[in-house]
Amino acid sequence: MGIRQLLQTLDMSTSAEFPDNFDYAGLNRQVRAIRDDLERVLGRTLALEDDLAIQDASFYAEIVLESLRESSTCI
C-alpha cells in the first residue's frame, strides 16, 4: 500500500483534529500521572501547561521545571 492510499484509508471525514475514539480524559490522566511521578522523584513542584495554554502547538502538553523554563521539554 502506498503512502497516499494509506493516508486516505486512515482519513476520517468526521474528525479533523483527532480520531473519533480519542480518549482525551485518559490522556489527561496519563499526563498528570507522569507529572506527579516526576514531582515525587525530583522533590519539586512542576508546572503543567495543557489545554488552552497549548492551543496551536504540535504537542499536547508541557511539563515545566520552573528553574529551567527556557529549556523545557515538550511531550
Q: Is residue 62 part of a domain?
A: yes
pLDDT beneath 70: ranges in the chain? 16, 52-53, 56-57, 67-75
Does residue 59 contact residue 72 with C-beta atoms inside 8 Å? no
Q: What is the pTM of this model?
A: 0.63
pLDDT computed for residue 67 by the predictor: 65
| Chain position carrying cell 474528525 | 15
Looking at residue 70, its pLDDT comes to: 54
pLDDT at res. 57: 66
Residue at 19 is within a domain? no
Number of domains in the chain: 1
In a domain, 50, yes or no: yes
Q: Is residue 32 part of a domain?
A: no
71 located within any domain = yes
52 is a domain residue:
yes
pLDDT of residue 35: 93
- Residue 58 lies inside a defined structural domain of this protein: yes
> Cα-Cα-Cα-Cα dihedral of 15, 19, 21, 22, to 10°?
-120
pLDDT given at position 8: 82
Domain of 67, in residue numbers: 45-75
The verdict on residue 14 lying in a domain is no
SS3 content of the chain, % helix, strand, coil (to 5): 50, 10, 40
pLDDT of residue 26: 92
